[in-house]
Amino acid sequence: MSDDFEKVAQITESSQRVVALTGSGISTESGIPDFRSPGGLWTRYDPSVYATYESFINDPTKFWEMSAELHPLLENAEPNAAHIALAELERLGKCEAVITQNIDNLHQEADSSIVLELHGTYRTGTCLSCGRQFDYDEIKELALGNVIPVCASCVGTIKPDVVFFGEPLNASVLQRAIEYATSCDLMFVIGAGLEIFPAATLPSYAHRSGATLVFVNITATAYDEIADIILIGKAGEVMPQVLEAYRGLKGAVRD
């Protein structure tokens, strides 16, 4: 494994454009469980009832009932060593952008500056009637005494700015993600099972463009065959070792 870390450090040093694609596995060590794992949110709340766009429009109370369990997890979570390592790689000029499937805002809290949130964020919401936007604290205040937070201007329903099942991704965010994937020469794929589309296609864009792919995960993915290096382990343990190996290489070069 140490040889793999040294190899990744060398590839990182020689790469000009490095990006990261992250999934739920990078945040489990921050206390946010994978929704699809045993005991995860979707084993207890049927997403077709609680988390589709159609179900929200028809009966938003279902989502907001589930959010009573979900939002405290997100609100209390803090960046772990993997988030911090990516932010440090950016500071060292070796992570141009983070593309994430997560809605938890942890990359921003770790000080990554360019974060493309494919599936949106829980930190804001938008009134479905008048389009007014609200931040998370405002939404919590509006929800006091009500199951559903409603707009202070028009009493319309507020929808969190997350992408529900059956709802299209933000086209401009997806296009920027594709541009980063096709123009990078190194992509870290961290904690992503690559089961959700179109996010799962981004490593293929990078691969077809000639980029090196480094997968960091605790299990295999359906796209492992296109990975150049696979580092098996928890993101919060593996990424600090990647950072340490890169720092060691830089120190050796200076000496």
Active site residue 71: no
Task: Please give the share of the chain, as a percent, with pLDDT higher than 90.
Answer: 78
Classified as helix, coil or strand, 125 is strand
Chain segment 133-165, per-residue pLDDT in tens = 999 999 988 876 667 899 989 999 999 999 999
Q: The domain spanning residue 199 has which CATH number? A: 3.40.50.1220
Range of the domain at 187: 1-32+79-119+169-255
**Phi-psi category of 134—alpha, beta or left, where left has phi over 0 and alpha has psi -120 to 50?**
beta
42 in the same domain as 2: no
Vertex 171 angle, CA 167 and 174, to 5°: 100
Chain segment 105-125, per-residue pLDDT in tens = 999 999 999 999 999 999 999
Number of domains in the chain: 2
Q: Sort 131 into a burial class: Cβ within 10 Å, 0-12 / 13-18 / 19+.
A: exposed
pLDDT at 68 over 90: no
Q: In what order do the strands lie in the sheet with 120-127?
A: 133-135, 120-127, 158-162
- In this prediction, residue 255 carries a pLDDT of 44
**Which has the minimum average pLDDT: 30-39, 61-70, 241-250?**
30-39
Q: Which of 71, 83, 107, 119 is catalytic?
A: 119
